[in-house]
Amino acid sequence: MPPFTKVANTFSVLLSPTNLAMGESASGKWTMVADQGFELKFQGFSYWAFFKYVQEGEATISYCSQTLQGWYRADTVGPKQMGCYRASKKGVNVTAPVVTNAPAISAAPTPVNRDAMRAYVDALNQAQSSWRADLSDPEAEERFLDHAFRASILAADPAHQSHVGSAPAPVTRRSANGQTPEARLGLPDYLNWHNVTGQDFVGPVRDQKHCGDCYAYVTAAIMEASVRVQTGNQQKIYLSPQHIVSCCPYTQKCDGGYIVLGGRFAEERALAEVRCFAEEPEGEAEAPCSWGCDKPEAYWYATDYRYVGGYYGNCSEEAMLAELAKAPIGVSIYVHSDFQAYKSGIYRHVPDNELPAHVRGIAPALPTNHVVLLTGWGTDPVTNTPYWIIRNSWGTSWGERGYARILRGNNEISIEGKAATMRTVLDRHPQPHPDGHPELVPWVIATLAGLVLVCLVLAVTSLCLGVLARRYYKRAQIPIYSPVPSNLGSTN
């Protein structure tokens, strides 16, 4: 990245404990993106940056009062008036740097024994009757063993344990008169976008294999479903998660990401169909970004990407139902080892203390972050148990042919804590440029354009976890830097 040019402008903004951003003469909105950074929409521009951290040997030093270099752009569809910025906290309650050392692991974790795994599955089925566990399928068994092995490594990391426990709690489900959320909203008792009077509005189940790009699969799935719903299932597209993994600067490729940042990328760049950006073979998922084809009509913009409830931490079952009644949405969950073994029924997590002593500890208790597509809701007619319907990205051999029902109204595995949504733009595609790359040149140039320096004054002290920081109040003073000349050209 070349040196920044001179500062073009500065401004101050107070970020409230909800999502209101207040300046001296204008207002806007803001949200945390989990605990990795924050997005600000103010005076016609959208700003996004990760919190700052540096790596020094085995230690990670987090500066929760600052951000890394971030990006700003006009708050519209497409790449317009884009540039770079940084943010820093100013005034009282400035958070001191936090040092997180890599965990000392004295020996390599022991892979789960297959006989022990089968005993664990039997114990799950004996401990409850709501759902059935089954790992007889070779793919399901391999996934379980792989997850258990990786989770045993992460369990040694205190920073990861703390991060896993950081999901916001949703709003209470039931009202004083006992009405369910669907009844209060005038919605039906059952909806499943996978089968609406015989029509499928979500398309086929896919398999992300061993790449941690579930966020990309769900971003693509939300946009695909949005096209189907808006056109009455007359138009069906098949979008490329690989495009996000390979080209989006806001994610960690096969090491994870967030739906809203996938939506931000799709609003700026437009997401390619698979015919223009094919998925890579197994083991090559982090392939470099490259142009697929000169078909602007095969690239689709997103808009109105956001957390359900308006901002991170304001999700609820009722808000999710209201959005889901319009189209499928994405949800983040914490995947425990027993979820890997799910085959059918209404899932609820079975912790180790509910299992016999001889199988406790076979599968690590530490969950991992995962993202799935929420396609519907319902209530079991026999047990009166409410549930969500989700579509996973682990192929059709897992669960109910790739789907699952999860206990609803209890924030089971944090499913009601941080849902997200977006809408696909039907009537606009990237404009072609002389070099044949639709709207690529201005986007790349913009990432090299000026710097905006943001100084934040917070009302409270934030909590910093490793390279992450939790949500907090902020005040920003922003000097905007003038852009670099537009003759730098594309670096793709």
- Tell me whether strands 7-9 and 329-335 are parallel, antiparallel or unpaired: unpaired
* Cα(41)–Cα(280) distance, integer angstroms: 35
Please give the backbone phi and psi of residue 315, each rounded to the nearest 5 degrees, phi first. -75, 155
DSSP H or E stretch at residue 144: helix 138-154
The two most distant CA atoms of the chain are separated, in Å, by 68
What would the two tokens of residue 178 be?
């006992």
Answer positive or negative: Cα dihedral of 60, 63, 69, 73: positive
What would the two tokens of residue 457 be?
């004054």
Answer positive or negative: Cα dihedral of 49, 311, 62, 289: negative
- Tell me whether strands 451-456 and 83-89 are parallel, antiparallel or unpaired: parallel
SS3 392: coil
**240-251: buried (b, 16+ CB within 10 Å) or exposed (e) per residue?**
bbbbbbbbbebb
Contact 271, 220 (CB under 8 A): yes
Helices (H) and strands (E) in the chain, counts: 10, 26
What would the two tokens of residue 11 be?
């401004």
Just list the catalytic residues. Answer: 214, 370, 392
- Tell me whether strands 403-407 and 368-379 are parallel, antiparallel or unpaired: unpaired
Burial class (CB in 10 A: 0-12, 13-18, 19+), 77: middle
| Closest C-alpha to 276, from 251, 246, 313 | 246
Q: What is the DSSP string of 178-207?
A: ---HHHHTT--S-EETT-BTTB-SS----B
| Closest C-alpha to 191, from 405, 326, 385, 376 | 376
